[in-house]
């Protein structure tokens, strides 16, 4: 393990113990509105609006396991990390952390897809838990990069009805994952992800790691 990795991992426990996003409210009803480009939520058990043509409507029960997945406390780290996720679900529960002066950030919106790229521009010996580009997802998952971190929030379209909610994280270059200050896995490249998909019976199911 390099001195950079040791420095990063030493601060992970404190980072993961801090609050991430209050906007991740498991149990709130959400609709992935394909073609509308936004998420609709209704609280207090209020009846949900009728779905429009082309909408993908997901209930609390459909989303429960994904809600649980984003609450699990863990981290993933690599030299270069790429996150691809559904914009409607993950947009409201993603938080980007950057240190001005050592990270160059570029944001673009391409046809409803929001893309943010953060590149560490400081000297290698200066990278640590405070300066590394990182993204918090929900209240549990922390994603960090030593060199470049790219977040792609992709708009859900009508053709995505079979997989309306998805996330895939690719970490390459001395990649590792774990919980707190404990490393669970190391490799040249690691992949983490989850999705809600419609099965042959027409019901939505969940799978993830």
Q: What is the pTM of this model?
A: 0.74
- Burial tier of 57 (Cβ tally within 10 Å: 0-12, 13-18, 19+): buried
Domain count, the chain: 1
Quick: pLDDT tens for 13-35.
333 333 332 222 333 334 444 43
Lowest-confidence segment of 43-47, 115-119, 147-151, 170-174 by average pLDDT = 43-47
Range of the domain at 176: 3-44+52-208
Instruction: State how far the Cα of 149 lies from the Cα of 157, in Å rounded to an integer.
Output: 25
Quick: pLDDT tens for 59-109.
899 999 999 999 999 999 999 999 999 999 999 999 998 777 788 999 999
Instruction: State how far the Cα of 38 lies from the Cα of 49, in Å rounded to an integer.
Output: 14
């Amino acid at each position: 393990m390099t001195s950079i990795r040791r420095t990063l991992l030493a601060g992970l426990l404190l980072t993961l113990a801090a609050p991430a996003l209050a906007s991740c409210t498991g149990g709130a009803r959400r609709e992935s509105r394909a073609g509308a480009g936004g998420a609709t939520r209704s609280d207090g058990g209020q009846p949900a609006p009728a779905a429009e043509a082309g909408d993908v409507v997901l209930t609390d029960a459909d989303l429960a396991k994904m809600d649980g997945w984003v609450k699990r406390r863990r981290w993933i780290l690599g030299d270069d990390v790429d996150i691809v996720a559904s914009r409607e679900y993950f947009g409201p529960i993603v938080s980007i952390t950057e240190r001005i002066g050592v990270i160059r950030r570029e944001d673009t919106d391409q046809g409803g897809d929001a893309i943010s790229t953060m590149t560490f521009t400081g000297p290698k010996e200066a990278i640590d838990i405070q300066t590394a580009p990182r993204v918090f997802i929900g209240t549990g998952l922390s994603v960090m990069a030593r060199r470049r971190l790219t977040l792609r929030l992709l708009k859900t379209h009508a053709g995505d009805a079979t997989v309306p909610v998805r996330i895939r994280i690719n970490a390459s270059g001395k990649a590792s994952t774990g919980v707190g200050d404990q490393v669970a896995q190391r490799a040249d490249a690691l992949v983490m992800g989850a999705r809600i998909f419609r099965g042959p019976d027409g019901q939505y199911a969940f799978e993830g790691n």
